[in-house]
Structure 1
Amino acid sequence: MVWFREVEYMRGFAALAVIAVHVSMNYTRIPAVNLLALLDLFIYIAAHFAVPVFIFVSGWVLAARYRGDRSPGEFYRRRARTILPPYLFFTAFYLVVRVEGTIGFAGVPSLARVAEALLLGTAAYHLWFFALIIQLYLLFPLIVRGYDLFDRAGTALFLLFSLFLIQILWNAGAHLAGAYLGPEWYTVLIRLFPSHLLYFVLGIHVARHTDDCRSAFRSVPPGWVLVAAGAGALLLGGVWVASVIHYGSLTGTTLAVFCIYRVLEPLYYVPVIAVLVLAAWRLDGAGWRGAGATRSFGEHSYGIFLVHPLVIAAAATLWFSLTGLSWADWPTYPVVFIAAVLGSYAAVRGLSVVPYAGWLLGEPRVRRGPLQ
């Protein structure tokens, strides 16, 4: 398996970013547009590289593992064992346990609500990822064959550029459809595989050209890659901050801002992926004590992804009851973030020794992430 150790570091970075997104998203509960709300909004936007990184790693590892010597039936059986038990269990769990802001009982769901949750991943705010990754798993044999056709013709980079344009048009079109045809159109379109296909195929490209990609990464000064990623974060976050300041709220933001965001986001996410690859190399080669903790966090990233909304909601509920503070107060965000990181990791490590619990955490045999 090429770059396997670096993959776990990248999963760890992405899992930390997911938690940052889902803690900072509570800026919408702050009644006024103040400095705290704007800072949380910036973090919320800047940390959205998490899902593209997970998708990239998925394409990378799958393409490295399945090189035509395994049958599609074996591939689908392995993917089904990895993803379906946790998805079904946590969909059922989050349908009855509310984790929006604080923890509570959501009531008994209707059959229509259950069907929607299973098809679109709407039982909780993070499960939409499963609706997306299941499509990519199902289409992987076709996608990788299509990539190989372009690669053998020497036009793999043309394919990546084409997917860059297609993805931008698709995601901007999803906002247009949501604005003019109804919000349900956006909900569906943004969960379909073209919305993230570029990152998946980019991972396949890295798997097919590992040595060339290593050389390319090393030929570029790390400082320039970091500057590109930082500039992208400032640009994307700045667009949203400026919009909220101008319009007074996120809901008042115009459709044009949403479309501009969709145009700019790949220009930010691709440099971030490069930065994380370089950071993973440095961590793995430096022997720093914290590197092991980061890698272990990545090894358990699937389980952490599944349980972290519950830990965030429980930590916030306890914090509010003990201190009388709310999501409108500064100390809440770092406290809940740290509690979510440590609590999610501890919960997954604890559950991993419970018989059969690994099947519900996507770790039936080894403690690795979902995207392999």
Structure 2
Amino acid sequence: MVWFSEVEHLRGFAALAVIAVHVSMNYTVIPVVNLLALLDVFVYIAAHFAVPVFIVISGWVLAARYAGEYSIREFYRRRAKTILIPYLFFSALYLMVTVEGAFGFAGVPSPERVAEALLLGTAAYHLWFFVLIIQLYLLFPLIVRGYDFFDRGGAALYLLLSLLFLQVLWNAGAHLLGAFAGTEWYTVLIRLFVSHLFYFVLGIHVARHTGGFRSALRSLSPAGMIAAAGGGALLLGGIWMAAVLHYGSIGGSSLAVFCVYRLLEPLYYVPVVAVLVLAAWRLEEGGGRSAGALRSFGEHSYGVYLVHPLVIAAGAAAWASLTGLSWADWLTYPVIFAAAAVVSYVVVRGLSGVPYAGYLIGGSRVRMGP
């Protein structure tokens, strides 16, 4: 299999963005809508490119690894080993340990709660990703054959545009159905593979046309791509800041705001992927400690993703006990973000060398994605 030097850096960027999302989301406990809360809302929305980037990487690397003939049985065996074991273990852990609100022991869950958590990824706020990626892995042999069929006919870009249109309609429809038929409909629909299928197939397209992708990206103006990504962040972040300022919270915003957001989000995420690839190239070419640190962080991003909610919750509790500062204070956010990134990485890096621990938190061969 051909390896892509930019992948580990992309994983590193995405893992840092995930931590930023889960730190900034604590704006909800700030009692008033002030400047700190609005800034947190902006970071929360702007950093949501993390999951689309991970999905693109998954499609990219899977399509490269399984480009020719391969054993379907071996494919599913490898996917089960890297995904199901950590998902089951950490679902059990987060069902018993509270990482939202007060940090502590949650007690033994009921069978109904266990079943819901495993089906919907609700044991903790970040495990929904596993429900999504498991579906994409299960369907990968069909998806990649469908892509190759269109690609051989010269219609790969038509397929991508069609999937983009379908995904936007699906996600907006999930909000509509959730508003009129019950929030449980949104919870289910937004976790189905269609909600992120465009990004997965985009990764497959990059794997099949890596040379053309790199040439096309190098031909574009870096300043233009940065402006597009920055403009998208300002637009989406600004929409939600205005909504929170008007309605008092994201959850209390009107249905129209949610639907407009779903219509616009891919126009932000796609330029962000391009900018992050350019940044990865720049780091690769420059080398140095920063490039090495981000690469190593990306190599351990799977484990970082799994453990960072524990570090955030424990760190926030310790920080409040030592300093008296809470999520309503400015200094809390950069401190907890830095602590979550560093401590999560150190823990995962340390455990990755322990026999069999790699199956749970990701060793050097078990990373976010395939």
TM category (shorter chain) comes to: over 0.9
1:131-142 map, 5 Å: 131-142=131-142
Q: Deviations over 1:247-306 (max 9, x none)?
A: 232232100000000000000000000001111111001113210000000000000000
Q: Does 1:274 align with 2:274?
A: yes
How far the C-alpha of 1:246 sits from its partner, in A, is 1.6
Aligned to 2:315: 315
Correspondence list, 1:148-163, <5 A: 148-163=148-163
Tell me the alpha carbon deviations over residues 224-248 of structure 1, each in whole angstroms, 9 at most, x when there is no partner.
1110000000000000001111223
Q: Which residue of 2 aligns with 1:130?
A: 130
Q: CA deviation at 1:209?
A: 0.4
Which stretch has the larger CA shift, 291-300 or 321-330?
321-330
SS in 2 for 1:196: helix
Q: Distance in 1 between matches of 2:289 and 2:118?
A: 41
Instruction: Give the CA deviation at 1:350.
Output: 1.2
Letter in 2 for 1:369: R
Deviation at 1:108, TM superposition (A): 1.2
Q: CA deviation at 1:69?
A: 1.8
> Which amino acid is the alignment partner of residue 91 of structure 1?
S
Structure 1 unaligned runs (5+)?
none
**1:229 correspondence with 2:229:** yes
Q: Is the 8 A contact 1:20 1:337 kept in 2?
A: yes
Q: Distance in 2 between matches of 1:101 and 1:312?
A: 11
- Correspondence list, 1:265-344, <5 A: 265-344=265-344
Equivalent residue, structure 2, for 1:24:
24
Contact 2:358 2:366 in 1 (8 A): no
The 5 Å alignment of 1:58-69 reads: 58-69=58-69
Q: Does 1:371 align with 2:369?
A: yes
Partner of 1:136, secondary structure, is helix
Residue 4 of structure 1 is matched in structure 2 by 4
Q: How does 1:170-209 map to 2 (within 5 A)?
A: 170-209=170-209
Letter in 1 for 2:173: G
Counterpart secondary structure, 1:4: coil
Q: Distance in 2 between matches of 1:87 and 1:68?
A: 29
**What residue number does 1:352 align with?**
352
Matched to 2:146, the amino acid is G
Cα distance in structure 1, aligned partners of 2:156 and 2:11: 26
Deviations 1:141-189 (A, max 9, x none): 0000000000001000000000110000000000011100001000000
Distance 1:264 1:37 in 2: 23
CA displacement at 1:368 relative to structure 2: 4.2
TM normalised by structure 1 equals: 0.98
Note the alpha carbon deviations across 1:54-110, whole angstroms, 9 max, x for none.
Answer: 000000000000013211111101101111110000000000000014421112100
1:83–1:370: 8 Å Cα contact kept in structure 2? no
Runs of 4+ in 1 over 4 A off after TM superposition: none
Amino acid at match of 2:51: V
What value does the CA root-mean-square deviation take over the aligned residues?
A: 0.9
SS of the residue aligned with 1:67?
A: coil
1:143 matched residue in structure 2 = 143
Compared CA separation, residues 188 and 179, structure 1 to 2 (3 A) = same
Distance in 1, matches of 2:303 and 2:45, equals 24
1:1-39 CA-partner distances (Å, limit 9, x unpaired): 445221000000000000000000000000100000000
Unaligned runs of 5+ in 2: none
User: Percent identity among equivalent residues?
Assistant: 75
Query: 1:24 and 1:358 mapped to 2: Cα distance?
Result: 29
| CA distance in 1: counterparts of 2:309 and 2:222, whole angstroms | 34
User: Which residue does the alignment assign to 2:263?
Assistant: 263
**Equivalent residue number for residue 119 of structure 1:** 119
Contact 2:82/2:366 (CA < 8 Å) preserved in 1? no
- Compute the TM-score of the two structures, normalised by the length of structure 2: 0.98
Match in the other structure for 1:49:
49
Query: Is the Cα contact below 8 Å between 1:302 and 1:368 reproduced in 2?
Result: yes
- The amino acid across from 1:107 in the alignment is G
Aligned length: 370
